[in-house]
Every structure is written in C-alpha cells, then in structure tokens.
Amino acid sequence: MNKPKFDIPKEISLPKRGGELHNLEGYPKNFELPLMEDISGKYINTLYAPKDITVDWNGYKEHLSIVKPNFHPQILLVGHDSSEIENITLMSLGGVLQHMNGMANYALVGRNNINTLDEIIKNKQPEWIGFNLYTGLTDFVFEWIKRYKIERASHILKKTILDFDTADKALKDMVREAKGPIYDGNQVLYAPIIIGGHFNNYSFNESFCKGGDYVVRGKGINLLRDILLGFFEPGIYHDPMPYANIPRMDREVFYKDMYEFSDKTKGYVFSRIKSVLSALGCSYTCSYCYVSSLIDNLKEAYRGKNIKPPSIIQDRPIDTVFAEGKDILRLDKYYGVKTAAVFDQADISLNNMEWWNKLGDGWMNHIGIPFYIQARPAMLAGKNGIERIESISNRGLVSGISMAIESGDQNVRKLLLDRHENNNIVKDAIKNVKSFGVPLRTQAIVGLPVMKPSVPFNPANSKVSLVDKEGKEHYYEDPLQESLKCLDLVCSSYFFSKEDYYWNAIYSPFPGTPLGDYSIEAGFAKGDTASKAYLFSTESGLNCFSDLIAKRQVAFSLTSNFFSHFKNGKNLMSSFIYSGNELDLEYFARFVSDSSSLMQPIDQTSTGGLIPNITKENLEDFFDYAYRNEIDIKFKEINKRLLNYYLYLFDGLVLAAKIAIAYFKSQENQNSFNLSNLYRVERNHYYDNCYRMNYMPKKYADYLTNIITGGN
C-alpha cells in the first residue's frame, strides 16, 4: 500500500530541532497506540510523540501497579556471547521489564550452546523470548527458533507438524488472537518471539519470515513496552526516533544470570571494564555502518509530515547514568571486583559538553571511575577540541580516547566512506589529545574496496564510489598503498606515543549499508557477506584480492601497531610486507632485528607503565630467565630478534612477560604460537593501559618487581 498523506496533529508534535524529547507528564496515562504508518507492506512506522513515551519510569512502575496490579510480564532476553563487552542492550530492555513490575532473565549463547535455552525456558517459564541479533551471528539462532516453533505448534495443536511455515503461521495466528503469549491456565504453552538488533535494520523481513512474531527495527524501548502491554499484533515495527528514555539498566539480574550461566559469561561479572551509555544516536553517515542509516530512517519516516525532527543525538538523564554508576560500585563490592574504567558505548561521546560538565565533578567525587570515550577527529581538533579534552582530562574523567580515522586518503574517506574530516583535522586531533597525555587508540579499516570495479559500473547510480563530482577517478592498483597512507598519517603526526595504539580491522561488507551495496555492485563481493560481517575475521569479506595481497593485508593488520611508533613507519611496513611471501612470526622477528638501524622512533621515552624505560639488557636477561628449557630455545631466539619490538612498544618488559605466559599456555594446549597470538597479547596489553588495568603477570611478578626495586 502507498504511504498515506497526513499531518501530525499539533498536540503530539515533536519539539523543534535542538529541543528536548521529553514527556512533561512523565508517562502516558492512557493505554493507546502511537500514530502508525504502513510502509508499503514492508513494516509499520510507529511515530511516537513525546506524550507517548515514558521518561519517569519509577512513576510508571507505580502507576502500573495500581491500574494493572496483576501485570507482571516475564521475558527471556537472549544475546550472543561473542563480544567481550557487556550487553547494555539487554540490560536496558531488562530495565523496561523491571519498571513494568516484571522480570527479565538473560542468556548469552553461541552456536555450540544455544540448545541450553530449552532448559532455561523449562525452568524459568518466560512469557516472551527476545533475541538481540548481530549481522553474521544469526543462522544458529534461526535454526533454534525453527525447531522451537515446530515443537510448540505440534504440542499445542496435538498433531505432528514437520513444516516450519505451517508452524510459524499457526503460532502467529494464535498470538494475534491472544494478543501475546499462549496459556493453558497458568502454564505458558508458547512464548512469542521478539527479534531486535542491528540485523533488523536491513534484514527485518528475514527475521519475520524465519520466526520472529514481533520484529523491532530501530529503537526498542517504546516498542517493547507496548508489545508487552498487548498493543501490537505480530508484525514488523520501526521506531525511528532516538528518544533517550532508556530506564536504569537491570545490571543486577544480568550479572546474576551471567554468573550462573557459564564460566565464559562469568567474565562479564568479573571484568574490570563496565559499560554505560551517555547518549543515543549518531549524526554521521559513514557508509560502512548500520548506525549511519538512522538519519535516513528518521528523515524518511517524517518526510511529508510537515515537521522537522529534533536532533538525532539525545543525551540520557544524568541522574540515570549516575544511578548506574552506583550500581557498578555496589555490584563490585558484592562480587569482589574493582572496576577500572567504564566504556561509554555512545556512538558519539563529548557531543554535549554541558552534559559532561554537569556529570563530571559529581561522578568523580562519588563514583570515581574514569570513562573510556569514543570521539571523532572533528570533535577533538581545533580550539573546541582542546576545550573538550581539557575539561575531561583535568578532572581525571577519561582513561583513554578511541578515534576512528578509517583511511589516510582524504578522497577515500570522503567519497567512499562518507566521512569528511581532512588529514589536517586528524593530525590536529591527535596533537590535541596527546597534549593532555591521554592514551589514544586510532582506528582504521584495512582492505577497503579501493580498486576499479571489476564489472560494468555506473558511479552515478551508487551512493558512494571513488569517482568525484568532476569525474576524476581515485582508484588504487594496489590496495595496500591505501592502507599504508593511513599508517603514514598517524606516523607523520609525530605525536603518537608509546602508550597509544593503532587498531585496525579487515573490511567485511554489511549488507544494506552503502559501502556494502557498492562492494557487491562493483563486483568485489558476493551477496552472502552477512555470514562474516560481525566476526572481525582475519580474512577479507571481499573476493577481489589475490592470495598474496590478502596475505599481506593480514600481516599489515597484525603488525601495524608496532610500525605506527616510528616516523618512517610507512617505509618500514612497506619493506616488511613487500619483501617476503611467508610473513609469519619468524619472518617478522628477523625483519625487526635486521632493520634496527633504519628505525626512527617517534618517542623513545615513557612516563607511563609499570616499568617505563627499559634496556636491551633487561630484556635479554628476562628471555634467559623465562625460556630455560631446550624445547623453548627456538622461541627464545625469536624473542631476542624482537628486542626492538619490545623496546619501542609500551611497557615492553611487561609485554614480554605477558607473551611468555601466552606462549607457555599454547605449549600446554599443544598449539603453536604465531603472529596472530603475538598480536592478540599486544592488543590486550594496550587495552589494559587504556582501561587503567596495567598488571604484572603473576608468574613473573617477583622477577619484575626485583627489577623495579633494583634488586633490593
């Protein structure tokens, strides 16, 4: 069906741009649907106005207890166990349940243990099951949903059903009639499936066809509330407005369930890095990212409505964030943990410095845990950038900053990635951050589709390409040269210090993003790239690279942090990746040893770390101490060739001890120790510093302490 033409009534109009999205009443007093619009039968836009949302969650909880005293929804929220960062999406949705006098339980699963959901459902008897799906981690979830729905439909209808489509339709019809879960007395016969997550931004129809009763695209807080209230029948619903009305997260039950679920998920409880969310939304339109489509989604939803939506970035209430900080401290005490840093998972931190200034002193005085922050070069450059960094660093409010550069070629950044900071802005941002001594992590993408398309292709038909408005082409015959430009941009800043980390990932196209679509249309990728998109694989998601180029890209990604700490890092890296075909750990070690006279370090001194400045003798003595058995002689020789690797990286002697620990663990497991292993230890070593978690490996603590004290 066509989009209906209508105006939004004045009484539910949104604030003007820059205004606050705030319900003055605190929460809706009447139970009614928001304004809705069917988008050509694909999905339904739910156009929530401020009067429709809940911001006073405590008041809403009390209101529901009066008007719906028997309403206590129970949901099992399921996510993936592949991320090392705690799942704030699930904790946020659990907060909704908590403030609706309900209860959430949590499970983080992978392909090997998703069937544990059967036992959880049997024991917990949830009325609803919600999945937070990441692109690339969906197949085994859909397999489980298929089996669950066939079994439940067969049980309820008391006949054997083998066909999934039949089971799916029957259950959706039952859910539609019941306006929610299917019961037999107090027994839950079927808990409807709710599917949300970034996967639905593009593949919402797949989620519905493969078993989702309710598929949520966009913001989930308001939709989950109203699904639980029985407002919606099965379908695909899209909330395009980024209201920052996330309630206080349900961290306590999440930790309890993670502690009991598995040894792996206990890691979220005992991690010294916790997560918060200072704001929602992103104003950038980066072509490689699903988040970038939020702006387009918002504009599309309100197009023709005679209204200009407010800012897509909305700050969360300071009181709510502060309460979550207190929860972290309380749960630290309960589980015997000391959180070192909180990772702000906002897509853009520091957007509103008035917000940060209000939070700052109170947070450090009463919570005392610094933030790890994500920011863009344009926000950190210039006078305003200096003011931003000074404001958070002088209070000790920041433990480190992550800044995405993605490419060192301004044309690639602008034309292909839809990012518009020039290289001078990037360099100025690096200089500003380092002038306050804040650890910096730059982020880059290796293996972008920067070659000339391999099939007939018209740039005019694509949102992105490497042909500018004048028709000039900006392609690369050798894609590695584009990656080298980004490395050179950081090296040539001359401000990158030992404590700073050059992070990169090999590109894998996300379906539905402008760059993902371009990669397929230009003949660089097939249409099935979703299966690898989230996994940060060491293999490219593109099919356009020769085996040798792909091998060099992997070697680049595994060693670039080392080379980033030299003024001539680009030349050193070029010599490394173009001079051999193996590019393994032994070859890298020989290269480091043979190139020692060519290295021009940016910063040879360090004021940070547990053992800031070391000598070659310190390292050689440690290698002799750590690798004393004949079986370890070969690895000992590799380490001796890596002397300059340890010497020029942050806290090199402690890094050497961590690598020794990892090496002996791999030996115990009868695994080889390769360049990827070296990279992982090095990366985590830098993360430890960014999150203020520096430590000495227990096995070598006495030895290293003896060096610090001079043998006394």
Name the residue type at position 208.
F
Name the residue type at position 479.
P
pLDDT at 293: 76
With beta carbons less than 8 A apart as the criterion, state whether 87 and 251 touch. no
Q: Are residues 191 and 311 in the same domain?
A: no
Q: Are residues 347 and 407 in the same domain?
A: yes
Mapped onto helix, strand or coil, the DSSP state of residue 36 is: strand
With beta carbons less than 8 A apart as the criterion, state whether 399 and 372 touch. yes
With beta carbons less than 8 A apart as the criterion, state whether 483 and 563 touch. no
With beta carbons less than 8 A apart as the criterion, state whether 336 and 269 touch. no
Q: Are residues 505 and 560 in the same domain?
A: yes
Q: Is residue 9 part of a domain?
A: no
Q: Is residue 306 part of a domain?
A: yes
What Rg value do the Cα atoms of the chain yield, rounded? 27
Q: Are residues 150 and 287 in the same domain?
A: no
Of the CA atoms within 13 Å of residue 421, those in its CB half-sphere come to 26
Residues ≥6 apart with Cβ < 8 Å to 461: 521
Mapped onto helix, strand or coil, the DSSP state of residue 306 is: coil
Q: Write out pLDDT tens, residues 128-143.
A: 999 999 988 899 999 9
H or E element, residue 342: strand 341-344
Mapped onto helix, strand or coil, the DSSP state of residue 301 is: helix
Q: Are residues 575 and 676 in the same domain?
A: no
pLDDT at 528: 64
Which of the residues in the chain have pLDDT under 70?
1-13, 17-18, 528-539, 604, 710-712
Q: Is residue 606 part of a domain?
A: no
Sign of CA dihedral 129, 132, 137, 142: positive
H or E element, residue 711: none
* Residue that terminates a domain, selected from 261, 291, 319: 261
Residues ≥6 apart with Cβ < 8 Å to 136: 508, 530, 531, 532, 533, 534, 535
pLDDT at 712: 46
Q: Are residues 500 and 451 in the same domain?
A: yes
Sign of CA dihedral 559, 346, 247, 292: negative
Label the pairing between strands 501-506 and 74-80. Answer: unpaired
Q: Is residue 7 part of a domain?
A: no
- Whole-angstrom distance, CA of residue 386 vs CA of residue 352: 14
Which tokens in the block code for residue 73? 């929804």
Domains contained in the chain, number: 3
Q: Are residues 96 and 121 in the same domain?
A: yes
Residues ≥6 apart with Cβ < 8 Å to 313: 242, 279, 280, 281, 282, 283, 348, 351, 352
Q: Are residues 112 and 185 in the same domain?
A: yes
- Whole-angstrom distance, CA of residue 69 vs CA of residue 63: 9
With beta carbons less than 8 A apart as the criterion, state whether 248 and 320 touch. yes
Mapped onto helix, strand or coil, the DSSP state of residue 480 is: helix
Cross-strand bridge partners of residue 76: 105, 129
Q: Are residues 174 and 222 in the same domain?
A: yes
Q: Is residue 29 part of a domain?
A: no
* Domain CATH code at residue 324: 3.20.20.70
Question: In the 8-state DSSP scheme, what is residue 706?
Answer: H
H or E element, residue 162: none
* Residue that terminates a domain, selected from 222, 240, 261: 261
Is 711 exposed, middle or buried (CB count within 10 Å of its CB: 0-12, 13-18, 19+)? exposed
* Domain CATH code at residue 223: 3.40.50.280
Is 697 exposed, middle or buried (CB count within 10 Å of its CB: 0-12, 13-18, 19+)? middle
pTM above 0.85, yes or no: yes
Question: In the 8-state DSSP scheme, what is residue 339?
Answer: -
Q: Are residues 535 and 661 in the same domain?
A: no
Q: Are residues 278 and 257 in the same domain?
A: no
Q: Is residue 15 part of a domain?
A: no
Q: Is residue 230 part of a domain?
A: yes
Q: Is residue 158 part of a domain?
A: yes
Q: Are residues 47 and 70 in the same domain?
A: yes
Which tokens in the block code for residue 624? 């002799």
Residue 466 belongs to domain spanning: 272-583
Write the CA distances from 556 to 48, 217, 503, 551, 588, integer angstroms.
47, 37, 11, 9, 11
Question: In the 8-state DSSP scheme, what is residue 468?
Answer: -
pLDDT at 613: 85
Write the CA distances from 440 to 176, 276, 375, 559, integer angstroms.
52, 20, 11, 18
* Residue that terminates a domain, selected from 261, 287, 304: 261
pLDDT at 14: 74
